[in-house]
Amino acid sequence: MIKKIIVKKTEDVAIQDEVSFGEKAWQLNEIIQGMNNEEAYFDTEWLYIWPDGESFEEAKEDFADEEDYKELEDLFIEIYKYYHDDGLYNVTTDVVNRAHEWDAKLGLDPIENIEP
């Protein structure tokens, strides 16, 4: 049984490694858009890097290279930490799970998803 768990974790890591920089960028934007403070999206530098109205396909193209993704990720971390205490507002389980992965990476308590 332990062997199966180790194999499963290895498969999960391999799948995550296959996610493109553009897809990762899209995931970051979903978290920022879901913050329970619209200033995280509208009143920060986010829209200077992330084009407002960007589609998934456009994100995969615009953030395909590691340098562009890294610039977005650095800004994401800054904004996410600053607005973390405000929580998320009514986002999907997938977005919450990805946010919790960032919480663990950044040493933050799990962010709350506020539901209406």
In tens, the pLDDT along 77-106 reads 999 999 999 999 999 999 999 999 999 999
Q: Assess whether pLDDT exceeds 90 at residue 74.
A: yes
Q: Assess whether pLDDT exceeds 70 at residue 10.
A: no
Integer CA distances (angstroms), 82 to 32, 42, 44, 48, 55, in order? 11, 14, 11, 18, 26
In tens, the pLDDT along 55-70 reads 999 999 999 999 999 9
* Residue 99: other Cβ atoms inside 10 A: 26
Mean pLDDT of the chain: 88
Q: What does the alpha-carbon distance between residue 34 and residue 20 come to, in Å, rounded to a whole number?
A: 21
* This prediction's pTM: 0.83
pLDDT score at 13: 42
